[in-house]
Amino acid sequence: MSRQAVYKWESNKEYPDIDKLIKISDTFGVTIDELIKKDESLQKKISIDEDESFEEFSDPRFYLGVILGTFIFDGTLSNILTSTGLFTILFLTDVIKSIKSLF
């Protein structure tokens, strides 16, 4: 890690990658949780990044593609796999959102 990188982190111009956070936590004997909890701006950035990943599944074009794919590749196995994948995605995003709302 360079001095310039540390300066950018301290001045909130950039944030460290997760692999760098792991190395820092190992070096200083603290948890990543302790490193992040003390930096509110980093917590907000992480929260924003997670919300953006869920937005991909709320796009109607995603579901349109799944439905069209089912009809184009009309087959029993294809329908089963597509339905299973779709319900898994819907279920997981709801569970993760409800867990996040608890904290």
Instruction: Decide if 51 contacts 97 (C-beta within 8 A).
Output: no
Considering the domain architecture, whether residues 31 and 68 belong to the same structural domain is answered as: no
Considering the domain architecture, whether residues 37 and 67 belong to the same structural domain is answered as: no
Considering the domain architecture, whether residues 3 and 39 belong to the same structural domain is answered as: yes
Domains in the chain: how many in total? Answer: 2
Print the domain residue range for 71: 59-103
Instruction: Decide if 15 contacts 39 (C-beta within 8 A).
Output: no
pLDDT tens digits for range 11-67 = 777 777 778 878 878 887 878 777 666 666 655 665 555 555 555 666 677 777 777
Residue 14 is given by DSSP the state S
Q: What is the pLDDT of residue 61?
A: 73
Residue 73 is given by DSSP the state T
Residue 101 confidence class, pLDDT cut points 50, 70, 90: confident
Q: What is the pLDDT of residue 10?
A: 72
- How far is the CA of 1 from the CAs of 7, 21, 34, 36, in angstroms? 11, 11, 20, 18
Q: What are phi and psi of 37, to 5 degrees?
A: -60, -25
Considering the domain architecture, whether residues 39 and 3 belong to the same structural domain is answered as: yes
Considering the domain architecture, whether residues 70 and 33 belong to the same structural domain is answered as: no
